[in-house]
Structures are given as structure tokens and as C-alpha cells.
Structure 1
């Protein structure tokens, strides 16, 4: 069974089961089928429209509402989905070149493995809930249920068995966290960069990124990739630190 082409997509599917359908592959997290990061179709290469619709029906029955568009995906598939009313979303991929250090400086903050600093995920759950509420307000939609945040936390807890989470401390509190994973390709992947609102503006995010990149390079990673929403503030921060725009990754979702 093929793996997702994009390392970041592959990272989010580490805690999912993977099933080969007729013309695509289904990554699914049974405990949270609505979580698009963990439940999605990829390697979508149907031979015709009938196979595509059969795979979509099978995926929908398992709770999947997201399709990842890859280089191998025939162009007509995306056109077909757009015609059917699926919504497209582009995400930026930026890469820090091999052996290049992050630019600039950052205040020193104590860094700990998250399993030691926040073993019960209390601090990280609070930050993820804040992120969900901020995102919902930014998009002008109703606040998502607490159960959705709990499902997100459970997914991250499962990912922690495959990747390393780090926490930054500031004034005795867990101020932020980050995740680092070395992909089979040899590229490092940095994800989940979060800072608690009361600790923003003090260089915590930069310190987290610097620590995550250092940990990945110590594991032998070459280039280090990071994702950002198009037009969102973090993408500009990553670019200032030396991450270079590399490509976009498109996915389509049922509205």
C-alpha cells in the first residue's frame, strides 16, 4: 500500500489505520472519524468516475469527508469533486534547507520532553481548546463542541507514540509546545507549534522551533519542513526564521 506523498500528511496519519480501496487509500482514525487530519483519502488514482464514486461512498460510510490531492491524482478527480460542491483548501509547505540554522535569536526558555512536563496533557489540552475557539472566531462559525477538542487531544496522544513533543516553560508554567518527527524520507517535520495566550510575544514560539529543529538534526534529519495555513501569521514567522516556501498541498472536503 502506498504512503501519502507529503511527509506532513503522512505524519498526521501515523495514528490511523490504512485501507486499500479500489482506486485510492483510506486513512482512518476510528475514534475520531470527523477529524480530517487523521481520516482522509489519499493515493486517489481511480481508473474512471464509477470507481471514484464507489471509493467516496465507502469512505463516507466510514466517516471520511476529506480527499488529499497529490501529484499522482488525475486532474479530472479534483474537477469532479469541485463540480460536486466539495470545498478546496490550500496549505503552505516551507522547508529549512539541510544544515541551515534558523535565523535570528530568541530568549532562553527551559525545554522539556512533554511526557515529563505535561504527562496528563492538561496544559496542551487547554492550548488546543484555545486554538479551536480562536479559529472558530476567526472564521465566524459557532464554537465547536468540547468533544471535538477531546478527540483532537486523543489523536495527539496517539501521535506521541510515534513522534516527540517538547514543552517550553516560562515563569514556572508550560508556555507552549511543539512536535518533531523524522520521516522515512530523512526530512524532519515540525508540527503543532502552540503558545498559550498569556505567554505570547516573548519568543516562546521561536525557542520551540529552534529546539525542535535541533532535535531533528541530532537524529540525522536533513531538510526540515513545516506547514502553515495560507495567509495565516505563522507562515510569515517561519519565513523570517529561514524556512523557504516550497509548495502547496491541496485537499478537498465536503462542506
Structure 2
């Protein structure tokens, strides 16, 4: 998938792309509403298809051809950003407060209704409704985080208020107040729009194929070597399973060394761990 969009580059970021993901995040705006814009091209390709279907094969010739549109010259500088949860990922919210099956209970409260069309007015209306929904829910959960109950809440006693109040009663009957993080609950709810977060903890054999096969082939398909490679472990937030992340990191770095030769590796997360 390829699309061009305008992106606001100061204050809160907004963009003109009507893809449901951006609308559900409340980020859509028309071009007329934006200032200080930049045009961004988003080109999406899928690799590692064998994870879903063993018969699928990646077309790295097509990948290389697509990349040459953006890297036409050998000295074109670019950053290769690798997120390790590409190789193995889990939804860290699925088991949140599982005694009351919280994740499923959040779904109807945070549900997102896609606009019927990509007509700008329809998308604007859907965005406004989504922002109103998320703002009310954030206010409710912020109040719970600060006051540990909804007593004294001065906002509208809407259907969402009643739904959150029910969750409050169920949670506090199953957990101590000290165990409940209301802000994380809101974060979890915000992921429940009209699709779920990906959840696929990859088996060791498939991990080897993804790293030594798929990732190696992807590097070979690059028209030119990257100027800088950044890697996100995504393990502190549990998107990349803790039992996989070190194995994946070692494998990815090995592949990069084979492709690039000697590289200067800076493990920034180790410095952060020392600070904490």
C-alpha cells in the first residue's frame, strides 16, 4: 500500500490520510486545517508471510524494486529502523486484570465505528466523535487514578460513565486499590478500536527462519546500505516477549554484521538500566 499524506509538524501532529488507524487515533484533519505541513509517503509491504501461511513466499525482487523508488543513488543517506517485535510480538494487555476478564470488557466502551466512506466530511465527523469518546474516557480514568473512586466526579453521567463505574466496581471487588493502575487501563482501552493488537509469540524454529532467512533476504534487497541502523527492543512495554528479545537481538546484529561488515554497536538501553 502506498499513500501520500500531509503531516502537521508542530504542536499536536495531524495528517490527511483517512486510513482507519489514523482516524481511530483522532489524528485526521483536512489539508485546509493544517499549517507548516510536510508531505510524507507511506509505502507498506508485507514480508515473513510464511508465519500466516506456510505456502506463502516473499517477493524480494518486488521489495527491492519498490525501495529503489526512494533510494535511486548509491550515496543516498537513509536510516534503517528495525523493531524487534516484528519477529515476535504479543499483546501485553490481553491478560491485564484477567480475574474479571478486563480486556474484553473494555472493547464495547472503546469501540470505534469506521466512517462509511473516505469523504472528508464523513472522516471529519468520525474523527470528532472519536476524540469526544476518548476525551471523556481519559477524563474518567484520570479521575479514578487521582481519587481512586468516581465519587465527586462532575462530568456527565453518560452511558460511558456507567460502563466505567461498572468496571470500577468489578475491579475493586477482585483487586486491592494498590494493585490497580487506572491509567494503564485507559491505555489498554485505547488499543480496542476496531482491530486488536497483533499477538504472535514466534516459535524458536520460525524465529530462525525470520532472522536468518527473511531478514537476511531483506537486507540483500536493499539497493544501498543504510547510513544508520536503529533498533527498538520493545521489551520494556512487553510488545516483544522478554523470553525472545535477547535471542532476536543477537541474531539481528549478527545479520547486520554479515551485511555491513564491522559496525559500531551502541547499546543505549544498558545506559538507561544503569541510571534506573
TM-score using structure 1 length: 0.29
Q: Which protein has the bigger strand share?
A: 1
**TM-score normalised to the size of structure 2?**
0.27
Larger relative helix fraction: 2
Larger gyration radius, structure 1 or structure 2 = 2
